[in-house]
């Protein structure tokens, strides 16, 4: 190969001097030594530093003899094939590769004057990476990338799934990619979990709080808290379903159990609604009014509900239209049953909770009274009159005696002979005997009916009065209808079943002593308070808030929708 070496020495901007040396050989040595073909004077050049070697293809390779190598177009390498335009730095010298006529290469060699006097230091610094920035660590690009990733994954992707239903459906199913579920602050309540996977079920309009219509799509029959008339006062203006019912706050907190919501109005309800009949309340433990049971009285011929305070002993009398003594029936020695001998009655023999466990089922004559109180026609142990049907009962008595009159053989010395005598089959009685017998029957029926209604049978429990309309027949008598309230406290939910660990008389303390059905045996609030305290009741008391007994959505006619 043939190399044209051009040595350039800088002695100032305009004083560069140069001399050219053409070299020939298959290997040309480069170094500081005097025996080198290309002589480089810098002390940082080894005596035999490198070699130019001609390849088979005519290309020229620069090969370093030092492990540290040389800079080839900015990279540190051990060897490199030189072509025109390359730049090599070697021991403080710069070798520029170019073309020259008749030569493989031209090499322009100059000392690196940019660091003249500080060559060693410059070389040292060139290899060094003195801080993290030089080592490639960056703050700003990493920060921007992190922000971009977060905004992409947690803003853009959820936004797409929230606004494009078909995309949302897929994104919510994909395991790793977030969807608008990543925006969910807490678990959906159990009640709403079955559709809660789709956020748009409730969140219908972006940036607008959940609207009532979303709730009422399902809860369409939910009654309001108060009737329409009171609603007009604007007491509930601005309230939303979600004002009270907070979703995403835990599995079971959808219904507010605290007192504060109710008490915020009911602590001084008259200030908000002056016509209210309700008394103020702040908590159950200390600031709840005494119970005021609802009684049913007959007023102006019509049954009317009346609330009477338990403390008002004078007014606290029921008028149930039926007489009953708990004391008599619950005699500790027992009472005589016509079929079972002596029976000791228990409360539960008559009072059974409704199937749901809440209130008591109404006491029924057939189930609870009839075993002892049979409605026999006097003098007959078999025939009974029907219960609850005055006309039927009166007719039954009349039919009974007419049958005897026509059949004869009635076993009573006071009856006419024609009625007492046993009839011979096929032998008709005379018309006079017939009239006599029927007149006996009518007399006896009227007498027996009066006796049963007024004294022996109906009148034993019911209030029966003659109407004055004739002396016989159903119209002649009036039986007062029974007025037993279904619940003394209709606005409260009480479950007898939940309290069945207690004896009945723990609460209904006077039940065994009561002689009259006018007694109201509802226990007072203090009885409840032996176990139940306010919402903040500590140890020893059951924490009980408004919704423990009362419901909110209770209006009879006003609905939310």
Partner 1 sequence: MHESYVSYRNFFYLKVAAALCAVAIVVYGLHQPHEPPNGGTWLGYTLGTLGAAMMGWLAWFGVRKRRYSGTQGRLVSWLSAHIYLGAALLVIVTLHSGFQLGWNVHSLAYVLTVLVVFSGFYGLYVYVAYPRELAANRGGLTREAMIAEVAELDRECLTLADEVDKEAHKVVLQSIEETVLGGSALEQLFGDPARRSASVGINKSLDAVRQKIEARVARGVPNLQSLEDQDATAISFLAEHMIADGGGPERLEKITRLFELITRKRAMVERIQRDIQLQSRLAFWLYLHVPLSIGLLAALFCHVFAVFFYW
Least distance between partner 1 and beta carbon 538 (Å): 14
Among 295, 303, 239, smallest CA distance to 265 is for 239
Site residues (CB under 8 A) for partner 1, limited to 104-143: 118, 120-121, 123-125, 127-132, 134-140, 142-143
CA 86 to chain centre: 77
Could you tell me the smallest distance in angstroms from the CB atom of residue 66 to partner 1? Answer: 5
d(CA 12, CA 9): 9
Gap between the Cα atoms of 555 and 521, Å rounded: 28
Q: Which of 111, 73, 76, 107 is nearest to 92 (CA)?
A: 111
Report 21-40 residues binding partner 1 (CB under 8 A). 33
**Segment 240-269, which members bind partner 1 (CB under 8 A)?**
246, 248-250, 253, 256-258, 260-261
The distance of closest approach from Cβ of residue 184 to partner 1 in the complex, given in angstroms and rounded to an integer, is 6
Q: What is the 3-state secondary structure (H, E, C) of 211-230?
A: CHHHHHCCCCCCECCCCHHH
Spatial contact of 321 and 518, defined as CB atoms under 8 Å apart: no
Q: Report, in Å, the least distance between residue 140 CB and partner 1.
A: 8
In the complex, least distance from residue 142 CB atom to partner 1, rounded to whole angstroms: 4
Q: Which of residues 199-218 bind partner 1 (CB under 8 A)?
A: 199, 203, 206-210
Contacts of partner 1 in 509-538 (CB under 8 A): none
We find the least distance from the C-beta atom of residue 154 to partner 1, in angstroms, to be: 4
Across-strand partners of 5? 21, 107
What are the backbone dihedrals phi and psi of residue 87, each rounded to the nearest 5 degrees, phi first? -130, 125
The only residue of 81, 147, 174, 492 in contact with partner 1, by rule CB under 8 A = 147
Provide the minimum distance between the beta carbon of 152 and partner 1 in the complex, in angstroms, as a whole number. 9
SS (H, E, C) 470-536: CCCCHHHEEECCCCCCCCCCCCCCCCCHHHCCCCHHHHCCCCCCCCCCCCCCCCCHHHHHCCEECCC
Q: Binding residue for partner 1 (CB under 8 A) from 15, 26, 166, 185?
A: 185
Candidate ranges 54-62, 179-187, 229-237, 491-499; the one touching partner 1 (CB under 8 A)? 179-187
Contact 162/206 with Cβ under 8 angstroms?
Answer: yes
Tokens 């009166």 sit on residue: 394
Alpha-carbon distance values, 87 to 94, 110, 378 (Å): 7, 11, 139
Under DSSP, the state recorded for 360 is B
Q: Which is nearer to partner 1, 49 or 326 (CB)?
A: 49
Burial category of 431 from C-beta neighbours within 10 Å (exposed 0-12, middle 13-18, buried 19 and up)? exposed
Nearer to partner 1, 48 or 442 (CB): 48
Residue 137 CB, nearest approach to partner 1 (Å):
5
Q: Which is nearer to partner 1, 154 or 455 (CB)?
A: 154
| Nearer to partner 1 among residue 158 and residue 320 (C-beta) | 158
Between the alpha carbon of residue 112 and those of residues 78, 312, 439, the distances in Å are 20, 116, 155
CA dist., res. 295 & res. 292, Å (int)? 9
Binding status of residue 282 toward partner 1 by CB under 8 A? no
Range 36-75, binding partner 1 (CB under 8 A):
43-48, 65-69
User: Considering the complex, what minimum distance in angstroms separates the CB of residue 146 from partner 1?
Assistant: 4
Rounded Cα distance between 6 and 66, Å, is: 24
Nearer to partner 1, 6 or 248 (CB): 248
Strand extents, DSSP E, 391-502: 464-466, 477-479
- Which is closer to partner 1, CB of 171 or CB of 199? 199
Residue 127 or 556 with smaller CB distance to partner 1: 127
Helix or strand (DSSP H, E) at 8: strand 2-9
Q: State which of positions 401-440 bind partner 1 (CB under 8 A).
A: none
State which residue, 95 or 419, has the beta carbon closest to partner 1. 95
CB 492, min distance to partner 1, A = 21
Whole-Å CA distances, 322 to 482, 490, 555:
6, 22, 32
Binding-site string for partner 1 from residue 323 to residue 362, where x marks contact by CB under 8 A and - marks none: ----------------------------------------
Near partner 1 in 78-97, by CB under 8 A: 91
**Closest CB to partner 1 among 256 and 351?**
256
Residue from 72, 158, 326, 474 touching partner 1 (CB under 8 A): that is 158
Shortest Cβ distance from residue 180 to partner 1 (Å)? 7
């Amino acid at each position: 190969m043939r190399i044209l070496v051009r040595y350039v020495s800088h002695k100032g901007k305009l004083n560069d001097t140069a001399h050219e040396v053409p070299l020939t050989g298959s290997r040309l040595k480069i170094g500081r030594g005097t025996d080198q073909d290309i002589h480089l004077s810098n002390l940082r050049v080894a005596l035999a530093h490198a070699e130019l070697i001609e390849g088979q293809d005519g290309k020229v390779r620069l090969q370093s003899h030092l492990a540290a190598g040389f800079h080839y177009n900015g990279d540190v390498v051990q060897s490199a094939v030189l072509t025109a335009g390359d730049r090599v730095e070697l021991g403080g010298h710069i070798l520029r590769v170019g073309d020259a006529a008749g030569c493989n290469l031209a090499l322009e060699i100059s000392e690196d004057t940019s660091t003249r006097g500080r060559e060693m230091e410059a070389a040292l610094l060139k290899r060094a990476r003195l801080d993290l920035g030089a080592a490639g660590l960056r703050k700003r690009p990493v920060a921007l990338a992190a922000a971009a990733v977060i905004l992409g994954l947690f803003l853009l992707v959820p936004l797409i799934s929230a606004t494009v239903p078909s995309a949302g459906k897929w994104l919510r199913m994909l395991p790793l990619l977030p969807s608008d579920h990543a925006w969910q602050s807490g678990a959906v309540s159990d009640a709403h979990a079955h559709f809660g996977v789709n956020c748009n079920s409730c969140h219908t309009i972006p940036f607008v709080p959940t609207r009532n219509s979303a709730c009422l799509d399902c809860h369409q029959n939910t009654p309001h808290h108060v009737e329409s008339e009171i609603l007009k006062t604007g007491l509930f203006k601005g309230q939303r379903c979600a004002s009270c019912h907070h979703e995403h706050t835990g599995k079971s907190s959808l219904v507010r159990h605290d007192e504060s919501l109710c008490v915020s109005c009911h602590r001084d309800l008259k200030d908000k609604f002056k016509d209210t009949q309700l008394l103020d309340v702040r908590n159950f433990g200390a600031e709840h009014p005494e119970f005021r049971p609802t009684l049913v009285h007959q007023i102006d011929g019509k049954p009317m509900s009346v609330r009477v305070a338990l403390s008002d002993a004078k007014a606290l009398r029921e008028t149930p239209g039926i007489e009953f003594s708990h004391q008599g029936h619950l005699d500790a020695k027992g009472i005589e049953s016509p079929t079972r001998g002596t029976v000791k009655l228990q409360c539960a023999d008559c009072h059974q909770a409704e199937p749901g466990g809440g209130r008591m089922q109404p006491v029924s004559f057939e189930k609870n009274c009839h075993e002892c109180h049979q409605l026999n026609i006097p003098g007959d142990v078999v025939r009974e009159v029907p219960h609850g049907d005055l006309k039927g009962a009166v007719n039954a008595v009349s039919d009974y005696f007419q049958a005897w009159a026509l059949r004869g053989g009635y076993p009573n010395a006071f009856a006419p002979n024609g009625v007492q005598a046993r009839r011979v089959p096929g032998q008709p009685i005379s018309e006079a005997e017939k009239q006599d017998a029927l007149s006996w029957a009518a007399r006896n029926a009227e007498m027996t009916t009066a006796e049963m209604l007024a004294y022996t049978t109906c009148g034993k429990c019911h209030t029966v009065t003659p109407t004055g309309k004739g002396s016989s027949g159903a119209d002649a008598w009036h039986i007062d209808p029974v007025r037993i309230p279904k619940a003394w406290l209709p606005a409260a939910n009480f479950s007898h079943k939940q309290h069945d660990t207690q004896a009945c008389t723990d609460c209904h303390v006077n039940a065994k002593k009561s002689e009259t059905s006018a007694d109201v045996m509802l226990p007072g609030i203090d009885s409840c308070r032996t176990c139940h305290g306010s919402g903040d009741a500590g140890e020893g008391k059951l924490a009980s808030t408004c919704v423990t007994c009362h419901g909110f959505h209770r209006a009879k006619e006003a609905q939310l929708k």
